[in-house]
Structure 1
Amino acid sequence: MGQSIFPGYEHQMVSIGDQRLSVHVGGSGTPLLLLHGYPQNHAAWLKLAAPLARHFTCVIADLPGYGASSIPADVPDHETFSKRRMAALLMSVMASMGHNDFSVMGHDRGARVAYRMALDHSTKIRRVLIIEVVPTSDMWSAFDAEMAMKAYHWSFLAQPSPLPESLIGGDPVFYLEWTLRSWAKGNDLDVFDPRSLESYREQMRDPARVHAMCEDYRAGASIDRSLDVADRARGTKIKAPLLFVWSKLGFPRITGDPLGLWRGWSDDLAGAEIDSGHFIPEENPDALLAAAVPFLNADA
């Protein structure tokens, strides 16, 4: 137990096997797991923690390797950073708190963990809200010149170690802030809470965390993509109701029909486009809240 960046929340470290997962727990109501994206951590939810806590028992997690969560060991096939492994760890975290079924909302990398969770643990996921991603295998298939220029980090971070780690390590804060600016609607840092920014800077200054982020993307280019391809070949679909939220200026819109891509994975699908850059939870939290709460509360 400990203090949390989110007022009214408690910080906990949950041990699952040899891993320790950092979570912030607050609110009341049906359980909701929140999963952040890259290059962020739990602080990505700073603007939404209080309003969501009025409706749900929120568990705001640091993904394995990010924030204060432990860093998985390297393996040659990057399986320890796969979204399947991350999903299983976070399922165990929720079960340890007595949440045997729950909803999940994820942004960016966290959204990839969320939809893998819904595929692999379908009886335990009530509702899934995906922010600003299309499925990993579909994203790789969408790489034309425009996507390659905007989402260059997908291939850069997936390069063999220590190439991206060494280049980022030359000026990690510059790399972080360049990334945040270039994906935000206004191309500046004003949309980010100063406390969140400092948390991201601290994370990026840690070479072990930078390596973990690269391993996350190496898994995305290999085992995560393969798992998606295998599920599509079997016709596996997400059984939980799915809400997909994307921005007018982000990565999914470059695919041309991002909602259409999700139709191949879900028979119970809704969508909402939001006026924002990539970082919807921080750039336009009010619009996200307006879409999320009715969807997540639909079974209440």
Structure 2
Amino acid sequence: MSVPLPTSFTYRTIDADGVRINCAVGGDGPPILLLHGYPQTHLIWHHVAPRLATDHTVVLTDLRGYGDSDKPRPGQDDAEYSKRAMARDQLLVMRSLGFDRFGIAGHDRGGRVGHRLALDAPDAVTALAVLDIVPTHHAFGHADMTFGLGYYHWFFLAAGNGIPERLIGRDPEFWITARMTARHHGGTPFDPAAVAEYVRCFSDPAAIAASCADYRAAAGIDLRHDEADAGRTIACPLLALWGEHSFVGRTYDVLAAWRGYAGDVRGRALPSDHYLPEEQPELVTTALRDFFSS
């Protein structure tokens, strides 16, 4: 069972300075890089990418540690999974494809990678869309009991001593499907073939370890990078989309949060929970096309 992209999309593996990144490329026109979140792969965009490819060159990748990309073994401080390292992978992928300047749309973790890439390589990123997130630094800086209960997985996955790796590894399918079904609100159902692909990829113990390192990095080295960049803002236009039924939509003034980190911020809520590209693909496509064409 698989969720194939149209045959106009071609798969390739690109060496990003020793880390092999799985990607698919299709369409023609101004380039857009689509980045996925946790616990998924590039296939979260399987509805959206073909629509965008009618007037853009669309690049979908698996972040390092996820999908069929390489999964470097985490070191002591999890620097291998800092958003800075993950963003550099994506910059090298786009350069390898011949794109020095490009737009980015990132959902969940992919939005955090896009945020870091827009800061570290401002000349490369023409526009950034972030889906259903507020900045990591803002989220931790405003953490309370509501945040702890709503985003308990941030703390669980960041725990040390192999605890989340061992527990998730006992039943990765349950973990993934429980996370996803709890964050869906009546839009387009998840494609069973896409879910099967998420489970296949996430059943690799190296993927579980990498994703935990991703979250530990967010609570450690990423925050240090963010604090070192205090006062810097994203130079390019930023579009924020979020689910009106999601934790983000119910908890934050999303546009106000992002205005502390970017100068040109726009966006709106969509009738969705967390997984906007799968639950409301037509609305997401329209919003992204309008934004990247403006």
For the aligned pair, the TM-score class normalised by the smaller chain equals: over 0.9
The corresponding residue for 1:162 is: 162
Question: How far, CA to CA, are the matches of 1:217 and 1:26 in structure 2?
Answer: 31
Aligned residues: 292
The corresponding residue for 2:189 is: 191
Alpha-carbon contact 2:78-2:217 (below 8 Å) kept: yes
* Aligned-partner SS, 2:58: strand
Structure 1 residue 33: Cα displacement: 0.3
Q: Deviations over 1:219-255 (max 9, x none)?
A: 11111122122212xx100000110111112232244
Q: Deviations over 1:200-224 (max 9, x none)?
A: 1112221111111111101111111
The corresponding residue for 2:262 is: 266
Is 1:123 the counterpart of 2:123? The answer is yes
Residue in structure 2 matching 1:286, options 253, 274, 282: 282
Q: How does 1:223-234 map to 2 (within 5 A)?
A: 223-232=221-230
The corresponding residue for 2:138 is: 138
Structure 1 residue 4: Cα displacement: 8.6
Distance 1:199 1:30, change over 3 A: same
Alpha-carbon contact 1:147-1:254 (below 8 Å) kept: no
The corresponding residue for 2:28 is: 28
Question: How far, CA to CA, are the matches of 2:24 and 2:252 in structure 1?
Answer: 36
Structure 1 residue 37: Cα displacement: 0.4
Is 1:98 the counterpart of 2:98? The answer is yes
Alpha-carbon contact 2:242-2:270 (below 8 Å) kept: yes
Question: How far, CA to CA, are the matches of 1:206 and 1:275 in structure 2?
Answer: 33
Is 1:203 the counterpart of 2:201? The answer is yes
One-letter amino acid of the structure 1 residue matched with residue 275 of structure 2: F
Structure 1 residue 81: Cα displacement: 0.2
One-letter amino acid of the structure 2 residue matched with residue 17 of structure 1: D
* Aligned-partner SS, 2:32: strand
User: Which deviates further from its counterpart, 134-143 or 26-35?
Assistant: 134-143
Alpha-carbon contact 1:169-1:207 (below 8 Å) kept: yes
The corresponding residue for 2:249 is: 253
* Aligned-partner SS, 1:32: strand
* Aligned-partner SS, 1:245: strand
Question: How far, CA to CA, are the matches of 1:77 and 1:293 in structure 2?
Answer: 39
Q: How does 1:3-22 map to 2 (within 5 A)?
A: 5-7=4-6, 8-22=8-22
The corresponding residue for 1:76 is: 76
Q: Tell me the TM-score normalised to structure 2 length.
A: 0.96
Question: How far, CA to CA, are the matches of 2:100 and 2:19 in structure 1?
Answer: 20
Question: How far, CA to CA, are the matches of 1:88 and 1:17 in structure 2?
Answer: 9
List runs of 5+ in structure 1 lacking aligned partners: none
Question: How far, CA to CA, are the matches of 1:261 and 1:161 in structure 2?
Answer: 33
The share of aligned pairs that are identical, in percent, is: 38
* Aligned-partner SS, 1:138: helix
One-letter amino acid of the structure 2 residue matched with residue 127 of structure 1: A
List runs of 5+ in structure 2 lacking aligned partners: none
Structure 1 residue 142: Cα displacement: 2.5
One-letter amino acid of the structure 1 residue matched with residue 62 of structure 2: D
Runs of 4+, deviation exceeding 6 Å? none
Alpha-carbon contact 1:4-1:10 (below 8 Å) kept: no
Question: How far, CA to CA, are the matches of 2:45 and 2:12 in structure 1?
Answer: 16
Query: Superposition RMSD on alpha carbons, in Å?
Result: 1.5
Structure 1 residue 27: Cα displacement: 0.4
Alpha-carbon contact 1:81-1:219 (below 8 Å) kept: yes
One-letter amino acid of the structure 1 residue matched with residue 96 of structure 2: S
Distance 1:161 1:203, change over 3 A: farther
Question: How far, CA to CA, are the matches of 2:163 and 2:205 in structure 1?
Answer: 13
Structure 1 residue 161: Cα displacement: 3.7
* Aligned-partner SS, 2:182: helix
Distance 1:159 1:241, change over 3 A: same
Structure 1 residue 261: Cα displacement: 0.7
* Aligned-partner SS, 1:183: coil
